[in-house]
Amino acid sequence: MPLSSPLARPLATTLLAALSLPAQVPAVVQTHCGECHTGTDAEGKFDLERTFAHRDPTTATLALTRLRSHTMPPPDVDSPPDAPTRTALTLAFAALVPADPSARIAAARPLSRRQFERTVADLTGIRWNGTDRLPELARSHGFDTMGGTGPMTPMLFEVHGEAALEISTAMLADPTATARAFAADQPLAATLPSFLRTAFRRPPSYDELASRVALFHRLRQNGQPETIARQAVLQSVLTAPAFLLRLEAGRADASHLLTDHELATRLAYLLTSAPPDATLRELADRGELGRPEVLAAQARRLLAEDDGKTLADDFFGQWLRLRDVLQSNADFRRYPEIWNQQLRPSFLAEAMHFVRDLMRENRSVLLLLDADFTWVDATLAKHYGLPPVDGKEFRRVTLPDRRRGGLLGMGAVLMVTSHTLRTSPVLRGRWILDQLLDAPTPPPPPGAGTLPPDDVPVDKLSLRQRLERHRHERRCASCHAQLDPLGFALENYDVIGRWRTELHGQPIDARGELAGGAVLDGPIALKDELLRRAPDFVRAMTGRLMAYAVGRPMLPADEPELARITAVVIANDHRFATMLTEVVRSPLFLTRDPGGPR
């Protein structure tokens, strides 16, 4: 069951104790790891004294991976560490990993296609659809908004040049849109600054304004029509790096700190995937956004005004891979229901309604793991075997038991973690470890082999029996020991998320044994196990939200701040609003480079 808020107090105490570590092994590490990992015969050649004396980052990174997966200390020890102690162990090893300067600073980030469309609409008033014109950006660490995903190639600049031509043409054909940059009764130098300020998300420099005014007049003096001169100015704005990229240069007097306009941009794109609105621009002009309480209040305002729709679509949709269900498929011969063109959109809509409700009502984030309600339309109510509802509108319904509530019972999750002909305990287990617990397993070793694409028994061996044989191979055992029990617990759900009790005439076996001996038998037992690891889930979600917000993956150096936010969220009944406000108040959000020079 969910852990109570008093956990925050011991967690804060151990956090502070681990922030200044001596060269010798900290007491908490010696207590829980010293028996097996001391001296020349240390298990796995992992000697704590050597690791801390030499501040060995390789061994420390491995220790962090094992701690996050709960394979270190072993779960069968006499006194396994509780959540606060595990956090203290994590901080102790994280302190040994030096900051990576190249990874610490978020690079200039191109706008994603969705962000570009919304930015164009905000700037010009033109609804321009880039689906068939702009490529999707590559995802890095799960998101298409991260820095360092690749350079702006010449081909990409060419595509944006063509987009700028289309957008400027549409803008000049619309008098209302044209007036945003050009006014008939005013000189260009008087009207263009406001347009540039919106386009660049900050006040333009003198050169940025003067060069475009000069371009306009030069073309007019050379005999070009006014329309051509205006279009040239608009294209120069729409292809400028300050428009196409989210640049964070920092303050002139302290480059590691973001300017107020950069903070406004970071906050706006986090919650609306669009540029700062008038309120944020005004606060930035007054220099007030650097105050954490102001940022937190603005975050709550933006979330409420948008009803959480953008954050649901862009953050939750990518973090949990919910968007992928629209491209997922199932073999129509075995699952003819897939021909219902509404099924996959309804899967996605269910998840989106659920997370928007969670944010709107400021519910506990643990409802993502287990809930007594969900959102369905007529299609999903029939598909899930729930009492019928009328029409295409989604309604919140109370569930009769714990099998369906939360992410693990949603068709979107179950389908993106399946193959076309069969479920995949491996994919489902990996999704839980990667997305929910931030405890990814390494990729399979070369030549590890593959399982058949179908779940029909071959040579009298079921798919489960084949998988159990595979996991007994030494090089595969350690990862499958973590993955398979989690995935087996979801075997009652088929490829398209329906509940089933048998497969090919045999009863479903949803039992799995975790390292340490705990047995999971079905999704309810799995939910109980995840709720027992609620601090891990809160920390994982916090880390993903922070990474999405700042545009870079979380590093070992960020662990103390993630631990602090996790403790505060737990102390406030796991409420989503607490997590969001602590993220935007955090030094990780407020600074361009928290580890950089002062």
User: Confidence class of residue 106 from pLDDT cuts 50, 70 and 90?
Assistant: low
Number of Cβ within a 10 Å radius of residue 44: 11
Task: Tell me how crowded residue 419 is: count the other CB atoms within 10 A of its CB.
Answer: 18
Q: Is the pLDDT of residue 378 over 80?
A: yes
User: Alpha helices, DSSP H only, in 34-108?
Assistant: 48-53, 57-68, 83-94, 101-104
User: Is a pLDDT exceeding 90 seen at residue 406?
Assistant: yes
> What are residue 313's phi and psi, to 5 degrees?
-65, -45
Whether the bond between 73 and the residue before it is cis, its omega within 30 degrees of 0, is yes
Using CA atoms in the order 219, 221, 225, 226, what is the torsion angle rounded to 10 degrees? Answer: 80
In this structure, what are the phi and psi dihedrals at residue 186, rounded to the nearest 5 degrees? -135, 150
Cβ partners under 8 Å of residue 142, min gap 6: 318, 319, 321, 544
Comparing CA positions, the residue from 351, 346, 393, 391 lying closest to residue 371 is 351
- In the predicted model, is pLDDT for residue 589 greater than 70? yes
Please, are residues 254 and 598 in contact by the beta-carbon 8 Å criterion?
yes
Task: Give the list of residues 6+ apart from residue 340 with CB closer than 8 angstroms, or none.
Answer: 379
pLDDT at 13: 46
pLDDT level of residue 138 (50, 70, 90 thresholds): confident
> How many Cβ atoms are within 10 Å of 134's Cβ, its own excluded?
21
pLDDT of 12 reads 45
Residue 170 identity: A
What contacts 583, CB < 8 A, 6 or more positions away?
A: 542, 545, 546, 549, 565, 589
| Each residue's pLDDT tens digit, 436-475 | 999 988 877 776 667 888 888 877 788 888 877 766 666 6
The pLDDT value given to residue 3: 35
- What number of other Cβ atoms are within 10 A of residue 25's Cβ? 22
Euclidean distance between CA atoms 524 and 521, whole angstroms: 8
What are the φ and ψ backbone dihedral angles of 575, each rounded to 5 degrees? -70, 140
* Spatial separation of the C-alpha atoms in residues 458 and 466, rounded to whole Å: 9
Q: Which residues have CB under 8 Å from 431's CB, separation 6+?
A: 321, 413, 416, 417
**Mean pLDDT on 309-328:** 97
Asked if residue 562 lies in contact with residue 543, where contact means CB atoms within 8 angstroms, the answer is: yes
SS (H, E, C) 202-266: CCCCHHHHHHHHHHHHHHHHCCCCHHHHHHHHHHHHHCCHHHHEECCCCCCCCCCECCHHHHHHH
Supply 311's token pair.
């954050």
Higher-confidence residue of 37 and 339: namely 37
pLDDT grade for 151, boundaries at 50, 70 and 90: low
Question: CA 74 to CA 32: how far, in whole Å?
Answer: 10
Condensed to tens digits (0 to 9), the pLDDT of residues 67-76 reads: 998 888 887 7
Quick check: helix, strand or coil at residue 575? strand
pLDDT score for 249: 87
336-360 confidence digits (pLDDT tens): 998 888 999 999 999 999 999 999 9
Strand partners of residue 115 = none
Q: What pLDDT does residue 15 have?
A: 46
Backbone angles phi, psi at 519, to 5 degrees: -105, 130
Helix (H) or strand (E) holding 570: helix 559-571
Mean pLDDT of the chain: 89
- Kindly report each contact of residues 118-122 with a partner whose C-beta sits within 8 Å and lies 24 or more positions away, as own/partner: 118/272, 118/273, 118/274, 118/275, 119/243, 119/274, 119/275, 120/167, 120/238, 121/274, 122/198, 122/274, 122/275
* Residue partners of 259: CB distance under 8 A and separation at least 6: 202, 249, 250, 251, 284
pLDDT given at position 474: 65
What distance in Å separates the CA atoms of residue 161 and residue 246, rounded to the nearest whole number? Answer: 18
Rg (CA), the chain: 27
